[in-house]
Structure 1
Amino acid sequence: MNFFHRAYLAVLCVALFGLSACATSPSREPAAGQHWVASWGTSPQALGQPESLPATLWRDGTVRQIVRLSLGGSRVRVRVSNVYGTQMMVLGEASIGRALRAGSSEVVAGSLQPLRFNGQAAVRIPAGGEYLSDPVEMPVAAGQDLAVTLHLSGDPGQQTGHAGARTHSFLAPGRQTNAPSLDGAQAVTRWYALAGVEVSADSPARALVVAGDSITDGYGATTDGNNRWTDYLARRIARERKQPLAVINAGIGGGRLLRDGLGSNLASRFERDVLGRAGVSHAIVFIGVNDIGVLRRAKEDTPEALAAMLDDFKQAHLQMIARAHARGVCVIGATITPFMGSGYYQPAAANEALRQAVNDWVRRSGAFDGVLDFDRALRDPQQPSYLSKTYDSGDGLHPSHAGYAALAEAVPLESLERCAYSRRVGSTQ
């Protein structure tokens, strides 16, 4: 819509309804030569009782959440999610500012700005919905921490959030949206109703979304340390790659490709969590160990079930790749890392054979636009079905901090440049 159309509609609105009814929100369109790109994000989950907020906070409480951007820009906007809610989620108001430091509810003095939704301070988000805020003029840089503060005014029934934030959020009673620091705050390691932050960035900038399980979600990472393997990768890309590329973590602890667990299965959430991100050009799919492990733990790993799972793996990946290619998104497959040493899953030889079969298909099928051999990066050369002791956190399943750094180093950045599908992405998002 051009200037003259907007001006005509504004005059018509005032004539029919009066000035107060026709207030407009800031333009959602980025400046010339820029587009909206996801800079931070997480995958929404239906929160269980241990992670859920008490009803008193939902009726009148404040939550301040600290997120680290992976891409800079001139303006920001926030995606708020009620995707698993069973009734309206009501926000009384919201704000955004620059966090003073990780692990604190304090913001940089004078940095808080109100978040609006179509010009309004309050918003009611329907069950199953996600809303974008109006843009806020706020120059930001990659690696910067922002504080997003929501005043909660209405319980959505089933709560939407992310259980494994690996970052402190702060809960406080009453309306403290514009407070420099929250009075009486309680620190928790969850995110609530917050799905993403987007920035208005120059057109070459794009987003890489990593879909995975607890290894991507950052199991064992230091709280407020930003040392998940995707964090290491974001810093490496910012340091070494000429064209800017955000890294969005779409991992869920306990997540599986084919079945629901602590979150929805990846095949069902791929559209929203990966392809629905603004400016996405690349996706890494790194998942499968929990599918194999849960089958073993449930004592359902019959030869027939293992063979069926291999076929289901292939079908699910091919479906996701086709959907991504239809959007011009490059898909990079990652091999499943060793877990024979896992005391939780206690895999048998047949489970290891399935992991090897999946990995062989990922490497050789030609279905992906690129392959990350994370199995090779982390395995013990003497016992390839086990994690290297250098990279094992101690449970035989999750990488150590050194293992997370090794995963980030195992991504050949030149493969991101070579991906043909990334060249086809327009700047319409």
Structure 2
Amino acid sequence: MTLVSRWLVHLRHLRELALTHWLAAFCLAALAFGVQAIPTASTPKQPAEAHWVASWAVAPLDFREMAASPSGPSYSLPGGNDLRGQTLRQQLELSLDGERIRIRFSNRFGKTPLRIAAASAARGTGADAFSPASLRMLRFGGRTSLTIAPGADAWSDGVDLPVQAGQTVVVSAFFDRATPFSTVSMPESGTTWVAAGNAVTAAKLKNPTPMVLNQIMTGLDVLTTKPVRTVVAFGDSITAGTSEGTFGAYPDMLATRLRDTQPAGQDIAVLNAGIGGNRLLTDGIGPSGLSRFELDALRQSGVTHAIVLMGTNDIGRTVFARVPGAELTPRDWPTAERLTEGLQQLIKQARAKGVKVLLGTVPPFKNTPYWNGANEALREAVNRWIRGRQDVDGVIDFDAALRDPADPQALNPLFDSGDHLHPNKAGHAAMAAAVDLRELME
């Protein structure tokens, strides 16, 4: 072998040895850093991670508080306030599409364990009826029944059921043990019936009795891989809508507006967490806004934005503060400073969760029992503070949208439901139109 030949063979051995060392080093690095494979042009793109997002939700109430009101007896069923031996059925109207759903059941205000013996979900076809082909039996950790401890909520397992925004899902639950009314929600949040026996698989209930209050069911999530913005409208009856649903609610109209205007692939859910008569600072009809904001807004699945409109009932309460038995202590008196401090606390809570906040100004209420000169001054002071906020993600001037141009302290007659406090359907449409949609896309 010539000297040149020996040199070429030696060079080849050196290259092979270097390549061997390089491959060994790469494999060690791959093991150290958890490398699975080298990406190539032919490697398929992995789908986005599926996650649960709220498509429908309500703010629950304690039935005992509702029953203690002057209209309490109207909340009772002929057989008493016990669901034992009966099937409860409720319509839920969705704000998001999905292929898979789960249902939240609540015993938040219950004093005893809540047992659901059987439950189902299906696509609604009107009133209490559903499509038999869409019926899905619900399970809970693989079981057909569920017991929820007092003060707790529980989700069903996910079930495959394709649904679309604006569509209704009918959820049914049968109770085989004593089930006193405890955790309820206001009637504008859905439509509910009760019927004798286990009818969770019946496409239509036999001799159903309509219920004035909704019961136990407080949320429906859809599973999605899309990036969804979830907006919680948080407030009192001006957010919730009227008790009969006659005048609608601005969150529903906002959801429709978003569906009609947003480009394909930009899904936004709007949830209504309003409670009629609710106050920001103190308990009354429902827990105070300060105490329920975490549960009713910030813990909704996938929440990204909160629209806060509160203060009307706090301000109006001062009119009745000196009625015997209803006196307010100095600590409870709703001053502008206390109201704005309360709103600031909500902002702080949301910021800590990474949720964006849009504050709504308090609408006018002249010519109502709530109104007097001092209360008007208080409302205007709170609104000045809201309009001047630089630490929120947006301000929605509901006051400007609803007030009478000829008398800015009063509701526009075109938007007045008749009580000079609650907007009518046109008023709720004006509220929905006052929301800058760009602020919900950020």
Q: Which amino acid is 2:87 matched to? A: T
Aligned to 2:297: 274
Cα shift readout 1:211-235 (whole Å, capped 9, x = no counterpart): 0101111116646x8x311111001
Mapped to 2, the partners of 1:56 and 1:178 lie a distance apart of: 24
Mapped to 2, the partners of 1:89 and 1:228 lie a distance apart of: 31
Deviation of 1:157 after TM superposition, in Å, equals 4.7
Q: Give the TM-score, by structure 1 length.
A: 0.85
Aligned to 2:359: 333
Question: Is the contact between residue 318 and residue 367 of structure 1 (CA under 8 Å) also seen in structure 2?
Answer: no
Aligned to 2:411: 387
Aligned to 1:350: 374
2:364 counterpart SS class: coil
Change (3 A) 1:108 1:311: same
Instruction: Give the 4+ runs in structure 1 shifted more than 4 A.
Output: 52-57, 300-308
Aligned to 1:377: 401
Deviation of 1:153 after TM superposition, in Å, equals 2.7
2:429 counterpart SS class: helix
Q: How does 1:10-409 map to 2 (within 5 A)?
A: 32-47=48-63, 48-49=66-67, 50=72, 51=75, 54-55=79-80, 57-101=82-126, 104-157=127-180, 159-165=182-188, 167-219=190-242, 222=245, 227-242=248-263, 243-299=266-322, 309-342=335-368, 344-345=369-370, 347-409=371-433
Mapped to 2, the partners of 1:318 and 1:298 lie a distance apart of: 25
Mapped to 2, the partners of 1:234 and 1:339 lie a distance apart of: 26
1:385 counterpart SS class: strand
Q: Which amino acid is 1:75 matched to? A: R
1:110 counterpart SS class: helix
Mapped to 1, the partners of 2:194 and 2:103 lie a distance apart of: 19
Mapped to 1, the partners of 2:131 and 2:244 lie a distance apart of: 26
Q: Which amino acid is 1:262 matched to? A: I
Q: Which amino acid is 1:283 matched to? A: A
Question: Is the contact between residue 220 and residue 400 of structure 1 (CA under 8 Å) also seen in structure 2?
Answer: no
Mapped to 2, the partners of 1:153 and 1:80 lie a distance apart of: 16
Q: Give the TM-score, by structure 2 length.
A: 0.82
Mapped to 1, the partners of 2:328 and 2:162 lie a distance apart of: 56
Query: Structure 1 unaligned runs (5+)?
Result: 1-30, 419-429
Q: Max radius of gyration: which structure? A: 2
Cα shift readout 1:51-98 (whole Å, capped 9, x = no counterpart): 355557422111110010001111100010000000101111100001
Query: Structure 2 unaligned runs (5+)?
Result: 1-46
Mapped to 2, the partners of 1:394 and 1:305 lie a distance apart of: 34
Mapped to 2, the partners of 1:38 and 1:170 lie a distance apart of: 23
Mapped to 2, the partners of 1:379 and 1:56 lie a distance apart of: 42
Deviation of 1:33 after TM superposition, in Å, equals 3.4
Deviation of 1:357 after TM superposition, in Å, equals 0.5
The total of aligned residue pairs comes to 382
C-alpha RMSD of the superposition: 2.1
Deviation of 1:241 after TM superposition, in Å, equals 2.0
Mapped to 1, the partners of 2:51 and 2:101 lie a distance apart of: 11
Mapped to 2, the partners of 1:376 and 1:306 lie a distance apart of: 29
Cα shift readout 1:334-386 (whole Å, capped 9, x = no counterpart): 000000121x32x1111000000001101103232110000000001111000
